[in-house]
Homo-oligomer: A and B are copies of this chain.
């Protein structure tokens, strides 16, 4: 096997010069440096453990692409994924895409070049379809489905059931005038949650009434004011997630509404913050730990077999806290 001495001999320099070029520990004059680089190419010398590991075994890299790492839901998921990956000897390359398509594309390409074991993707944009189809790594869509879906696995909570549980709970709490904050319909999670709400409306003969709202606090704050203007008699709000519910709660209180006496409020996700705020939020729990663990497990298993298309749906739970109150005698 080629040694550092072979490279040095061919380049006409000392082995320590080769080492300096490779490790960039000191300046080497440009001419010598070029000779060394040429000799390395010529001999096919593999300078370090990482390079050797490339054909000995797997890269042990899992790529994770989240929309924003400082969104608590994705932060909590990233934590679980990182812990699970570490326990299994994998490391995590993280990309917080902030809905920037070019960044997502660049990251998928970079992870492909790195020979990552797979990608856990928590963001979705239909324009990514081409990139995803070109990518030959196992991909797990976590929480949100990928538009194309070809060869992509999909792990998610039962958003449809979650919305149904939430809506039925508000009815059990005696709400007569419920407003839904409709999730962004570009995401499968949003479509499923909204469909769950609509299905209960149909079952009970209740009018469907909603206002569109993004998944973030700022939009929740803005939309809450609209709800009060458009539906002054609202007595129940089904928020699209916990961060939005926290914003809605603040607007309600600032405007003098009592929660849950005047308006009942329910979130979705059960992020840690939902129980840290003053009045703890009733919400639908997504099994964040289980979702993260399953995603890592899927990458590890698929790594052997290549692309696999599989759907895993995890159960959700209603967590009753202080922003809703059941009324006796109602079904």
Contacts and interface: CB of A to CB of B under 8 A. Distances in A.
B55 A47 contact: yes
A114 B249 CA distance: 47
B58 A1 contact: no
A250 to B, nearest CB: 5
A286 to B, nearest CB: 14
Nearest to A243: B276
Given A51-B51, A55-B47, A70-B75, A92 B93 contact: yes
| Interface class of chain A by DSSP | helix
Interface residues of A, number: 64
A68 interface: yes
A66 to B, nearest CB: 10
B278 A44 contact: no
Given A44-B1, A113-B49, A276-B217, A22 B55 contact: yes
B278 A115 contact: no
Nearest to A36: B55
Given A68-B79, A276-B250, A277-B277, A54 B47 contact: yes
A55 B40 contact: yes
9 contacts: A1-B42, A2-B44, A22-B55, A24-B303, A24-B304, A69-B82, A70-B79, A72-B72, A78-B96
Interface of A: 1-2, 21-22, 24-25, 37, 40-52, 54-56, 58, 68-70, 72, 75-76, 78-79, 82-83, 86, 91-96, 98, 103, 106-107, 110, 113-115, 136, 217, 246-247, 249-250, 253, 272-273, 276-278, 303-304, 306
